[in-house]
Amino acid sequence: MEQIFNWIKEQKVLCGFLFLIILCGVFASLYLVEVTAEEAYVCPKTEPTVSEEVTDEIIVDIKGAVKNPGIYRVEKNAIVQDIITLAGGLTADADTSNLNLSKKVTDEMVITVYTHEEVKDLEKQDAIVETGKETTEKEENTPSGLVSINTASLEELMTLPGIGEAKAKSIIQYRENCGKFTKKEDLLNISGIGEKVYAELEAYITI
């Protein structure tokens, strides 16, 4: 034992060098584990603003047959009609027969105003869902409808074209760690979902 201690004293520089190599190896292993765990998805970067700190306001997206479609920040007690007014009003061919104009809007709500022709087409396909009607997540994600990437289960996500178990788990991890998808294109932030895969499933999903 005394000989070992004497050897260590004589080889202090060598022992110190070996210790540094071992220490660097440990830190490198921990770094690789952390990087690998984050490769499944990348959360989008957002720039905080003063207006985002206001708790009594919500964000609503209005699309379709309005003069100025887009995203609007409104008070929590606003209704659908208020959002249409903010968007400059309806276009000449707009049809609100399938909308409840007095319905209170919610945060991240998407309002779509269809034209007369679009409403007719939807009626033919029996695909109109009246605003304000209570539906369950199961009803929203049936094979005949669209799959919500914000609420769908693992099994429901796996019914989408190009989405296996690994990608479905990554989608669920993304919304748990990064928050809800704000647009369908956010799927491109997930590893393994590129432009080609997204193009195949885009028509089958909603937020």
pLDDT tens track for 105-163: 988 888 999 999 888 887 776 544 444 444 444 444 444 468 888 888 888 888 888 88
CA distance 148 to 35: 29
pLDDT (average), residues 76-96:
93
List, in order, residues 6 or more apart from 104 with CB less than 8 Å away.
77, 78, 79
Give the chain's largest Cα–Cα span. 97
